[in-house]
Structure 1
Amino acid sequence: MDDPNLIKRDAAGDRLQHAPRHDPGLARVQAVPWLIVIVLFAAVAWLGWRAFFHEEEGDIVGSAMLAFEEQNSLTVFSSRFEVVAESVNTPSVGPLDIAALEARQAMIVPALVEYRLDLSQMERSDFAWDPETETLDVVLPGLRVSPPNIDEAAARYFTDGLYVSRDASVALSRNNSRQAAERAATFARNPQILAMARKAAAQAIRQNLAIPLQVAGYGDVTVNVHFEGQEPAAVPN
């Protein structure tokens, strides 16, 4: 038979055992230092990101200028053409010219001229951004035309005369070279050639801006390009 006192003692022992209690106030106190550390860490990370990686949103002009800074000078067009020059040399004896010994020389020589844009001098005022129409207007500086590169090694010569001395030949060639350079420079500034160079420049600038602006997250921006003193003209996509 079971001892009733043992049963009571067991019951009494059971009554003395209590479930462990959690103090919510203590838990909150212990969590506060860790919360402060997390907040401080997030603040430091945000400040570091803003200082070193963040760019002002919507600064499309800054993005465009950054793209130009990497280009500095851009060759937008080149023109290769042939120039014809002709010279006459008449030897003389004292005050008299000897027409019978007159010599002529014609030269057909290739010439190359390049048209460049100096992007390093562009300023923020050369860009205008319209957020409503998502249009970027760009004013370009004047084209720089390089001195003509006369390829005399590829020139073709035609000489006419009964007798052409060495001195006369040198004089004819020197005079033809000077003429070729002058005529090439004049041809390079022909209005039609300049119009072609400006059109090529506008297309090149749009292409050089389109990809960087898309990468920067501005999407399909309309770029209008014109030169100083010209009306803005939209460049076709």
Structure 2
Amino acid sequence: MGGDDSAPVSESQYQGKSLARIQAVPWLIVILLMALTAWLGWRAFFYQEEGDPVGSAMLAFEKQNSLTVFSSRFEVVAESVNTTSLGPINLAESRQAAIIPATIEYRLDLSTIDRDRFNWDAGDETLDITLPALKISKPNLDEAQQKTFTEGVWVSRGASENLSRENSRQAEVKAAAFAKNPQVLAMARSAAKEAVRQNLTIPLQIAGYGDVTVNVRFDGEKVQK
């Protein structure tokens, strides 16, 4: 007659096994936490995921369609003459000179800067970027702060308006010409390069690319290493 050879498990033995399992759970949690900590440390200090520095650089420009890099405020001198005549006879002549403050802004159109304008050298950790030409704003004349000097025995209201209108026209033309002065343009380009360099260097460092060198130039210029 067959029988079960296994010995019955006593209550004390069953409780001992259960207690052993319960005591093993905290140690298992500790081991898992140690493994997770080791993996995170390895990933932080030894693992370097291949990224896209150009994409990170473009992301820095994503929310800015236009960047004002330089603003120049200066004074423009304009002078005009108005003659009141009756047929061939000049009845009166008036002259007005005006000193008008003007402001010009130089902007960079970031929407035109695509991936083709970037070049990343992974070996040297260098990012080259080529900028488009700066956009020069229309002169903003602060006519409320202008100083005027008027000459004439008698200046009618119409003559005064003509003089003021002509001075404003001259001031705008002169301010636009001054904005293209080579020295002023050089300062604006220098400010643009520095602004772009700062706008790219910090985000790239935060993204984990370390001490990145950012070289900035405009179309037609050589890269300054």
Indicate the TM-score class for this superposition, using the shorter chain for normalisation. Answer: 0.7 to 0.9
Using the alignment, how far apart are the partners of 2:50 and 2:6 within structure 1? 67
Residue number among 192, 205, 208 corresponding to 1:217 in the alignment: 208
Q: Which residue of 1 aligns with 2:145?
A: 154
Residue number among 85, 90, 108 corresponding to 2:83 in the alignment: 90
Are residue 191 (structure 1) and residue 212 (structure 2) matched? no
| Shift of residue 120, structure 1, vs aligned partner | 1.1
Q: Which residue of 2 aligns with 1:75?
A: 68
Using the alignment, how far apart are the partners of 1:157 and 1:205 within structure 2? 41
RMSD over aligned Cα atoms: 1.9
TM-score (norm 2): 0.77
Counterpart code for 1:133:
D
- After TM superposition, the runs of 4+ consecutive aligned structure 1 residues lying more than 6 A away are none
Distance 1:161 1:131, change over 3 A: same
Residue number among 88, 109, 129 corresponding to 1:138 in the alignment: 129
TM-score (norm 1): 0.73
Using the alignment, how far apart are the partners of 1:228 and 1:147 within structure 2? 23
Matched residue count: 183
Are residue 102 (structure 1) and residue 102 (structure 2) matched? no
Using the alignment, how far apart are the partners of 1:171 and 1:197 within structure 2? 35
Q: Sequence identity, in percent?
A: 64
Using the alignment, how far apart are the partners of 1:223 and 1:107 within structure 2? 45
| Shift of residue 118, structure 1, vs aligned partner | 0.7
Counterpart code for 1:209:
L
What does 1:115-134 correspond to in 2, within 5 Å? Answer: 115-134=106-125
Larger radius of gyration, structure 1 or 2? 1
| Shift of residue 146, structure 1, vs aligned partner | 0.5
* 1:110-166, Cα deviation, whole Å (9 max, x unpaired): 101111001111111100011111111000011000100001011100001111111
